[in-house]
Amino acid sequence: MTNSPRGIPSPPSPSWIPAPRAWISAVALVLLMLAWQHTIAYLWVIISLLINWWVHLPPKFWYLLSLFASLSPIFVVAFLHHWLHKLMDNFFPETRLPETETVPGVFPGVMSWWQGLYGWLVNVLATTIAYSIIALFSPQTELFNILSWFTQRTVHLHTATIIIQIIIAAGLYQFEYVVHQRLIRAARR
């Protein structure tokens, strides 16, 4: 038990409550994914106009292009994670953990790819759960009206969805941190 400022023992906070690190990761991920979704939507329009203007391509090409677009956040998060850590290692070397190794070059290492994959998974799960929660508590009579939210510019629904996404993402990042810490403790035994 840790002591409070008055000397009274206080229990440690439960491990399922997201720590500040989890909240920062969640907010950064959700904001990055919102920006990336707008960028992909803009690029999708430009590419589809250019390609349809030149030649009509088969649906398999569009399927592969949409598959790449849906998996592209993995690459974005992995490269951003790698470059931010290189930047932090150069300018703030005291923040570097001694157990981690630096990956030379521009291409991300295994841990950056893990962060990309986990960030993509967190984004997909948080988005799915957030829209499911909004759909469950929606006063709308038809469930299919929720699909029109993607095309309408209703600010209050998007804000509620983003807040729910951040809360769920923070919980998932805290879960990953707790599992990581338990694996480290088990390896040290």
Measured at the CA of 156, the angle between CA 152 and CA 162, to 5 degrees, comes to 95
- Give the model confidence (pLDDT) of 141-188 as tens digits: 555 565 565 555 555 557 888 999 999 999 999 999 888 888 888 888
CA of residue 158 relative to chain centroid, distance: 17
pTM: 0.76
DSSP 157-168: HHHHHHHHHHHH
127 pLDDT above the threshold of 80: yes
34-38, Cβ contacts within 8 angstroms, sequence gap of 24 or more: 34/162, 36/72, 36/73, 36/76
